[in-house]
């Protein structure tokens, strides 16, 4: 009885020690090497690309101004609002100066002491401030009725037409840019979230790399498609070093990777077989690898029909070997399905082979044990038995 208790105690101590060392190793790697790997990311966790272009020719930079619409859309909000305010205030003040110049040339200002029967180009424009207010009223079509253009000055009529046309163009461009910025599908992508970590465990008898993804809105993504790219540095047989070499990673769910029914969180997985770049990795060597797994989700927004793409990435420290995701979907007594996002990124440790090669070797060994072998040199000979005990 004492020996049995001692064995249970030894087993418990061994399990706790192994778990403690695993957590300690993960903490050490994250604490001392996490920052350097984080700086080396090509794609951040929220999908932004960490790359810069150097030594770009001035002629190539001019191309951004040729495609001014895309350039304005890609600007940050603080720069866009600065351009928005500057465009309107600048145009109002510029045309205010022109209206003041027209009044000055036509000698409509009070300092010229016009006669009583003098008809000005613009009524009640008596200075630069009045000219600015008239410019503002003209371009935004306020029309208070106090200041107006008369028919005595063709220059003023032409300037009125020109400012009205240019004002419509500025309004259309700036309001369209603001509306397009607000309705960009990048904002819809913010409501698509990936799990903090990827896990490796057995699924359906196969070793798989699993990732969880969820749609935080009730509106669906139509025609969703998910795939991945493994980025790492490789050396070709010719000796060429390729930085950020891309390898396709196929992700599937039980129903395939096309047209996902994205109504609830999905667990997508990549089967680690002989064609997978993870096949030669093991639990002990995974943390020493140098790669970045980038996962993409493409789909069409149901409400706007705009195509959006969601991205995230995982480095070796964020891939947990021997874990699976905790359950997240349950059914209430009222018959409704409930998603508990508290367990969205929560993982549970499970028994997992420490390498894919070991799992497949074990399967081959079991198959060979069940398989029979024919011996072509084996000959069955009949033997006649005699009864030597006859009396």
Residue 360 maps to which CATH number? 2.60.40.1400
Tokens of 328: 């997240």
Q: Are residues 160 and 268 in the same domain?
A: no
CA atoms within 13 A on the CB side of 225: 7
CB 90 within 8 A of CB 82: no
CATH number at residue 85: 1.10.287.70
Residue 380 is assigned to a structural domain of this protein: no
Residue 374 is assigned to a structural domain of this protein: no
Residue 105 is assigned to a structural domain of this protein: yes
Residue 263 is assigned to a structural domain of this protein: yes
Q: Are residues 207 and 164 in the same domain?
A: no
CA atoms within 13 A on the CB side of 357: 7
Tokens of 225: 């498609």
Q: Are residues 312 and 199 in the same domain?
A: yes
pLDDT tens by residue, the chain, 391 residues: 555 666 666 766 676 676 666 666 666 655 555 444 444 788 888 888 888 777 777 666 677 777 888 888 888 889 999 999 999 999 999 999 999 999 999 888 888 888 888 888 888 888 999 999 999 999 988 877 788 888 888 999 999 999 999 999 999 999 999 988 887 777 777 888 999 999 999 888 889 999 999 888 888 888 888 899 999 888 888 888 888 889 999 998 865 556 677 788 888 999 998 889 998 888 888 888 889 999 999 888 887 788 888 999 999 999 999 999 998 888 888 888 888 888 898 999 998 888 877 777 666 555 555 555 555 555 555 555 555 544 4
Q: Which of 134, 160, 183 finishes a domain?
A: 183
Q: Which residues contact 148 (CB under 8 A, 6 or more apart)?
A: 122, 123
CB 307 within 8 A of CB 299: yes
Q: Are residues 216 and 80 in the same domain?
A: no
- Give the distance, in angstroms, between the CA of residue 227 and the centroid of all CA atoms in the same chain: 12
Residue 16 is assigned to a structural domain of this protein: no
Element (H, E) at 24: helix 2-39
Residue 384 is assigned to a structural domain of this protein: no
Separation of alpha carbons 181 and 69, rounded Å = 11
Residue 119's closest CA among 131, 106, 110, 128? 106
Q: Are residues 217 and 341 in the same domain?
A: yes
Q: Are residues 92 and 238 in the same domain?
A: no
Residue 103's closest CA among 126, 83, 85? 126
Residue 147 is assigned to a structural domain of this protein: yes
Separation of alpha carbons 72 and 49, rounded Å = 19
Q: Are residues 219 and 359 in the same domain?
A: yes
Q: Which of 154, 183, 212 finishes a domain?
A: 183
C-alpha separations of 147 from 125, 133, 136 in Å: 7, 9, 11
DSSP 8-state code for residue 316: G
Separation of alpha carbons 289 and 232, rounded Å = 9
Question: Against a cut of 0.85, is the pTM above it?
Answer: no
Q: Which of 164, 183, 202 finishes a domain?
A: 183
Question: What DSSP line would sit under 169-225, residue for residue?
Answer: HHHHHHHHHHHHHHT-HHHHHTTEEE-SSEEEEEETTEEEEEEEEEE-SSSPEEEEE
Tokens of 256: 């395939």
Say how many domains are in the chain. 2
Q: Are residues 246 and 348 in the same domain?
A: yes
Separation of alpha carbons 34 and 49, rounded Å = 18
- For the chain, strand residue ranges (E) read 192-194, 198-203, 206-215, 221-235, 241-249, 266-271, 292-301, 307-314, 319-321, 323-325, 329-331, 337-339, 347-349
Q: Are residues 247 and 213 in the same domain?
A: yes
Q: Are residues 171 and 237 in the same domain?
A: no
Q: Are residues 166 and 195 in the same domain?
A: no
Q: Are residues 245 and 175 in the same domain?
A: no
Q: What is the residue range of 321's domain?
A: 188-369
């Amino acid at each position: 009885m004492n020996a049995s208790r001692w064995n249970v105690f030894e087993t418990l101590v061994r399990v706790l020690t192994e778990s403690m060392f695993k957590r300690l190793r993960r903490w050490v790697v994250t604490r001392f090497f996490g920052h350097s790997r984080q700086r080396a990311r090509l794609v951040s966790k929220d999908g932004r690309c960490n790359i810069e272009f150097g030594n770009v020719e001035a002629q190539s930079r001019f191309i951004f101004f040729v495609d001014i619409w895309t350039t304005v859309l890609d600007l940050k909000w603080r720069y866009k609002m600065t351009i928005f305010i500057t465009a309107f205030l600048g145009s109002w003040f510029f045309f205010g100066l022109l209206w003041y110049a027209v009044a000055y040339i036509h000698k409509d200002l009070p300092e010229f002491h016009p006669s009583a029967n003098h008809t000005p180009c613009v009524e009640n424009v008596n200075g630069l401030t009045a000219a600015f207010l008239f410019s503002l009223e003209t371009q935004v079509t306020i029309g208070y009725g106090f200041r107006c253009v008369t028919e005595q000055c063709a220059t003023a009529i032409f300037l009125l037409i020109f400012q009205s046309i240019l004002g419509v163009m500025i309004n259309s461009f700036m309001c369209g840019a603001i509306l397009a910025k607000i309705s960009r599908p990048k904002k819809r992508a913010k409501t698509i979230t990936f799990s903090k970590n990827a896990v490796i465990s057995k699924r359906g008898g196969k070793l798989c790399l699993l990732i969880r993804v969820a749609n935080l809105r009730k509106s669906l993504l139509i025609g969703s498609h998910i795939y991945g790219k493994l980025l790492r540095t490789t050396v070709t047989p010719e000796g060429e070093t390729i930085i950020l070499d891309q390898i396709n990673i196929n992700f599937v769910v039980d129903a395939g990777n096309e047209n996902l029914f994205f109504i609830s969180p999905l667990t997508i997985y990549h089967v680690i077989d002989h064609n997978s770049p993870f096949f030669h990795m093991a639990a002990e060597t995974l943390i020493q690898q140098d790669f970045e797994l980038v996962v993409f989700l493409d789909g069409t927004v149901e409400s706007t029909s705009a195509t959006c793409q969601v991205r995230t990435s995982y480095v070796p420290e964020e891939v947990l070997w021997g874990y699976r995701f905790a359950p997240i979907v349950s059914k209430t007594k009222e018959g409704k399905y409930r998603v508990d996002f508290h367990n969205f990124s929560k993982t549970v440790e499970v028994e997992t082979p420490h390498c894919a090669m070991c799992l497949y070797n074990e399967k081959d060994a079991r198959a060979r044990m069940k398989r029979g072998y024919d011996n072509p040199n084996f000959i069955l000979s009949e033997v006649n038995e005699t009864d030597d005990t006859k009396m």
